Amino acid sequence: MTTALGVSLSLFLVGFTCFFLYLYNLFWWKPLWLRKKLQHQGINGPAPSFFVGNILDIKKIQLEMQAAKNRQSISNCVSQDYMSHLFPHIEKWRADYGPVFAFNLGNMVIVCICNFDVVREFCQCKSAEFGRSAYLRDNRGILLGYDSIITSKGKSWALQRKVIAPEFFNDKIKGMVDMMVESAISVLEKWESQMEEAGGVASVRVDEDLKSLSAEMISKACFGSNYLIGNEIFSKMLVLQDLLSKQHAFVGLPGVRHIPTKTARDIRSVGKEIDQSVLKLMDDDYNAQKPSFLQTLVNNFGRGSSVIVDNCKGMFFSGHETTASGATFALVLLAHHPEWQERVRAEVVEILGNQAPSMDKLHKMKLLNMVIYETLCLYSPGPFLTRETSEAMKFGEFAIPKGVNIWIPISLLHQDPANWGDNAHEFHPERFANGISSACKLPNLFMPFGTGIRTCVGQNFAMTELKIMLSLLLSKFTFSLSPEYKHLLTYKLFFKPEHGVQLKMEKI
């Protein structure tokens, strides 16, 4: 009896010791070893704490910034200096440790790169294994797909891109223009009714309608007659987006998302509803036997494949957020700069006349294209481009070990005077007069749609959506910022106006 008890106790102690060593390695030794490897190369940063890394440091810096912001009145003045409010730790640590620095989120080691030469080498990397960070799949997979073209890497990513990319070639998009125009006109008619009811001039909340419009366009492009179910999926995705944003502060802490809090339960419940809706769409589309984006996925990956569900979610969410965000901020900037609004409107009216937009006409809208590029430069939809090294990789003078996350702060690079000039923070569409290649010293650092071999496959689709939305709106209405509008951004996986966007609109 005593011997059996002793053996059991010994086994328990061995198991406990192994478990303790595993946790010690996971939360402390491995992250510390990676930081030491980086530090030996001159990549410094704030010292991490056990388990939480630098999360508490980030919270402290954000609270200090919030306190300073509370002492200031919120203005309706349009300023592009939002990174210092939303991610003040990035700017502080760049100032303290240089353009390449490291920090920890939990046990996740991150190297943030603002050095132009290093970023340029990052952009030129062509390894399919150099994919999105594992945390994106683990923490955002329920929204973006666990194995989608957005979150996958290696052979899986290469196959998915080969299948999906042709669905967004220009010849396919050209056939969607009439559908996009029809959807956009329905929103404009809604706004026109609001103006008539208000006596000619109305304060219109445009950001929510632009989200719905973008969602409808993508739904129709992907599902055709089933787009109404697609719209329901989008509504659930917005709920899921808000829920996931509540967990943003805990990204990098292993296992936290599995703690059965109300938010975690709601995330799983809404995620399950979205998956079921996508599967229903898949069955309906398969039975209809009509060519569509979804049918292409089924033909290549097999009916019921999780890859199909993941890609539908990923394309839905990232696609509609990018376009809606771009259109919203373009309207804010044009409302704040009426001289540019008039210039672009004159171009649109001259090209369109009384006709609807077509692909050929959209290509002729040079000023509108400049404004869209400038908007994406000042308000890139997401703050960072993220990757994770699956093997030791060298960028410039730095050898980055396996398992390190690399963050490129797109929004900071897009407004760096060293690349864009002294007016980098200003609305100056003229910089794109001769295209992206002449807009700045290093044009490959302009990356609102990503960079390299992982550039967004839906880039042309999104640009066409933006041109149609803006050209139709400019041809029918004049607009200015409503006195109710307060220019304050928030971050919920993407940048968005915290209090929405109200425009004072009048029919031409």
* 493 Cβ neighbours under 8 A, 6+ residues apart: 140, 143, 241, 244, 245, 248, 321, 382
For the chain, the 3-state helix, strand and coil shares in percent, each to the nearest 5, are 60, 10, 30
**Which residue, chain included where needed, has tokens 């010293």?**
441
Q: Which position has the token pair 């494949």?
A: 305
Sign of the CA dihedral running 191, 194, 199, 205: negative
Q: Give the closest residue to 421 by CA, choosing from 438, 440, 437.
A: 440
Paired with 395 in beta bridges are 398
Instruction: Report the first-to-last Cα separation within the chain, whole angstroms.
Output: 94
Which stretch of DSSP H or E encloses residue 384?
strand 384-388
CA dihedral 52→56→61→66, nearest 10 degrees, is 120
CB 230 within 8 A of CB 223: yes
Burial 268-295 (b: 16+ CB within 10 A, else e): eebbeebbebbeebbeebbeeeeebbbb
Query: Using an 8 Å Cβ cutoff, are 105 and 54 in contact?
Result: yes
- Alpha carbons within 13 A on the beta-carbon side of 211: 17
The vertex-431 CA angle with 428 and 435, nearest 5°, equals 135
Q: Which alpha helices (H) appear in 289-305, and where do they start and end?
A: 293-301
**For residues 376 and 448, what is the distance between their CA atoms, to the nearest angstrom?**
6
Residue 450, helix vs strand vs coil: strand
Is 125 annotated for ligand binding?
Answer: no
**Cα distance between residue 112 and residue 135, in whole Å:** 16
Task: Report d(CA 53, CA 58) in Å as an integer.
Answer: 10
Query: Which residues are part of a known binding site for heme?
Result: 456
Query: Which residues are part of a known binding site?
Result: 456
